Amino acid sequence: MSAAGDGRGRLVTLEGGEGAGKSTQIEALARLARDAGHEVVTCREPGGTALGEALRAALFADHPRPPAPEAELLVFAAARAQLVAEVIRPALERGALVLCDRYADSTTAYQRFGRGLDATLVASVNAVATGGVTPDLTLLLDLDPTDGFARGERGGDYLERETLAFHRRVRLGYLELAAAEPGRWIVLDATKPAPQITHAAWRRIQPLLAGAPR
């Protein structure tokens, strides 16, 4: 069921590879929505709750080897389940706009397309983690991985240090997901100036907020 199915809050997720500018856009869009009189809740994955942040710290710690793909999948899912229960669902129930930096589509892009995990497995885990809460709109900040790395995002956690081939699979996965659900996704060229991207995204968000509680 869509987050907007009960006529209350709206869930907008931002997706994209490393260095695409998701955090910058969430800040700008949250400011516009608040200026328009809406309650806005921002969150990130993995994280956003005490449990989620602890799982994030454990996952991205400097381990001698990265986690097994299945373990990685389940850690992200556990953090997401807690975020939905503790933050996202309550915010939607009281009519807020939720802007989330990554959501279930990240798992599909990174663990299914990037890691090569079974599509049915990933979909099943995502279904449990989200509890049926799906985005009303997903903004894909599309960027070639080489451009993302040029922005200084290569030396961080183990996912950022993955091979260029891995990140290209992730990008192609995102584009495939967007093509399959054009009514939910909007693909934005992340090489454009940030204000231009914000303007295009805000034009798609505004209709969702028409008639929403203030």
CA dihedral of 186, 161, 173, 203, whole degrees rounded to 10: 0
DSSP state of 161: T
- Residue 124 token pair: 């099943």
Class of the 3-209 domain?
alpha beta
Q: pLDDT by residue (tens digit) across 116-174?
A: 999 999 999 999 999 999 999 999 999 999 888 777 655 578 898 899 999 999 999 99
Domain boundaries in the chain? 3-209
| Angle formed by the axes of helices 22-35 and 194-209, nearest 10° | 50
d(CA 113, CA 208): 30
CB atoms under 10 Å from CB of 189, counted, come to 11
Q: pLDDT by residue (tens digit) across 89-124?
A: 999 999 999 999 999 999 999 999 999 999 999 999
Cα 99 from chain centroid (whole Å) = 9
d(CA 166, CA 186): 23
Q: pLDDT by residue (tens digit) across 31-56?
A: 999 999 999 999 999 999 999 999 99
d(CA 16, CA 31): 21
- Residue 102 token pair: 């990554």
Which residues neighbour 49 within 8 Å (Cβ) at sequence distance 6 or greater?
79, 82, 83, 86, 87
Alpha helices (H) in the chain, listed in sequence order: 22-35, 50-59, 69-83, 89-93, 104-107, 119-130, 145-148, 164-180, 194-209
Query: What is the pTM assigned to this prediction?
Result: 0.92
